[in-house]
Amino acid sequence: MKPIYMDNNATTRVAPEVVEAMLPYFSDLYGNPSSMHAFGGNVGATLKAAREQVATLLGAMPEEILFTSCGTESDSTAIHAAIRANPDKRHIITTRVEHPAVKSLCEHLADNGYRVTFVPVDRLGRLDLDFLYKHLSDDTAIVSVMWANNETGTIFPVEEIARKVRERGIVFHSDAVQAVGKIPINMADSSIDMLSISGHKLHAPKGVGVLYIRKGTKFAPFLMGGHQEFGRRAGTENTASIIGMGRAAQLAMECMQDENTRVRALRDKLETELLKRVPKSMINGDPENRLPNTTSIAFEYIEGEAILLLMDQYGICASSGSACTSGSLEPSHVLRAMGVPFTAAHGSIRYSLSIYNTEEEIDFIIEKMPPIIERLRQMSPFWKEGMIA
């Protein structure tokens, strides 16, 4: 059975065009791009082209593109680079709703002598900007705010924040892993200093990422060794994946229109119909400023994990709003930060679409979901209590 894949914020299918671009670099074209001979040098030339393709997608200069091993490495490199380039500054500002790649690192730094301010969000997941601006200080080494949230799709006003942060001479980083390819990004016309992206969220393979570093930004490398990546990240390049990333960047530009029209319409149809057909259901997040591919829907009084299991029997892949940590089902930190009630956070399902989804798939889900929810609610003591209350 072919899966109905609605979990594209977790990972995406590698585009067939990307596979095709990569294949020769596993077989015939295995040269080392740093070699002096033409066999390696030719691979180096293709790597250079891939860097230009990614730069074009971001409106950046090729020398501002650093290839990494993943989005997590890009986030970690940006934050470490800022604090090591400003050793006398001991304060970091981030948000309560970041991806674990930023959240866990900042919590670790908070345990190791840094003061970390986590900016709160409101019930719709919108940042408290006054709170953020009030906490900027001469001691702040970096402000890191994601462009779009992976769980709810909420888009944050990062350009506006970056302008204010730059006025104070502070470095601004954004985790744009979920934003790139879905909404326009133009670094030429931006105050953002560093930006993270990940290959596998963009129809390139897993294990390749990009950190954009604005020309002139103070930088301290993490991996030391050879001169790869302009001396900013040693280690022989993951050539095939980087070449795939370049091709994926080209495709992302071609597909942005489809993402914002057809995919958005499919998402809207799914959401409208589910909210209409399932009582006690609601959207998590800001319905206005939102990625075109994502909807997080809370089905109150039932367990997300149970919903996913029943969906799985039909081959429908999605994610829930809770994380199974140490045997207990904790609602996600994002939904908790938004103050989503416990009974709703637990039954939250994230559907995240891609250009490969079809209307038939959406219609199938619209048909299958209401009986799944109904069946689980009939077994739920919370549902009956909730109905009485």
Ligand X SMILES: *Cc1c(COP(=O)(O)O)cnc(C)c1O
Residues that bind ligand X (CB under 6 A): 9, 70-72, 99, 101, 146, 150, 175, 177-178, 198, 200-201, 209
CA distance 104 to 64: 26
Token pair for 86: 């400003």
**Which helix (H) or strand (E) covers residue 5, if one does?**
strand 4-5
Six-digit token string for 295: 């909807």
Dihedral sign, CA of 16, 18, 20, 25?
negative
Residue pair 166/142 in contact by the 8 Å Cβ criterion: no
Q: Which is nearer to ligand X, 12 or 190 (CB)?
A: 12
Q: Which is nearer to ligand X, 72 or 319 (CB)?
A: 72
Q: How far is the CB of 96 from ligand X (least distance, A)?
A: 14
Q: 100 or 226, CB closer to ligand X? A: 100
- Say which of 106, 255, 317, 324 is annotated catalytic: 324
Nearest approach, Cβ of 101 to ligand X (angstroms)? 4
Task: Give least dist CB 300 to ligand X, A.
Answer: 26
Q: How far apart are CA 246 and CA 371, in angstroms?
A: 43
Q: Which is nearer to ligand X, 70 or 311 (CB)?
A: 70
Residue appearing with tokens 């133009």: 186
CB 356 within 8 A of CB 302: no
Helices (H) and strands (E) in the chain, counts: 13, 15
| Choice between 100 and 184, CB closer to ligand X | 100
Instruction: Determine the Cα–Cα distance for residues 195 and 183; give it in Å rounded to an integer.
Output: 14
Which residue's entry shows tokens 């809207």? 268
State the minimum distance, in angstroms, from the CB of residue 389 to ligand X. 36
Give least dist CB 382 to ligand X, A: 30
Q: What is the DSSP letter of 229?
A: G
70 assigned to active site? no
- Output the smallest distance, CB 326 to ligand X, in A: 22
User: Toward ligand X, which CB reaches closer, 44 or 207?
Assistant: 207
Q: Which two tokens stand for residue 81?
A: 């680079």
**Shortest Å, Cβ 381 to ligand X:** 35
DSSP bridge pairs for 284: 296
C-alpha span between 18 and 74 (Å, rounded): 21
* Spatial separation of the C-alpha atoms in residues 80 and 285, rounded to whole Å: 30
Q: Which is nearer to ligand X, 201 or 267 (CB)?
A: 201
Return the closest-CA partner of residue 263 out of 58, 2, 55, 12.
Answer: 12
* Alpha helix ranges (H) inside the chain: 16-22, 38-58, 71-85, 100-110, 129-134, 158-167, 239-258, 264-277, 304-312, 333-337, 342-345, 359-378, 381-388
Sign of CA dihedral 230, 231, 234, 235: positive
User: 205 vs 331, which CB is nearer to ligand X?
Assistant: 205
Q: Strand, coil or helix: what is 308?
A: helix
The residues annotated with a catalytic role in the active site are 324
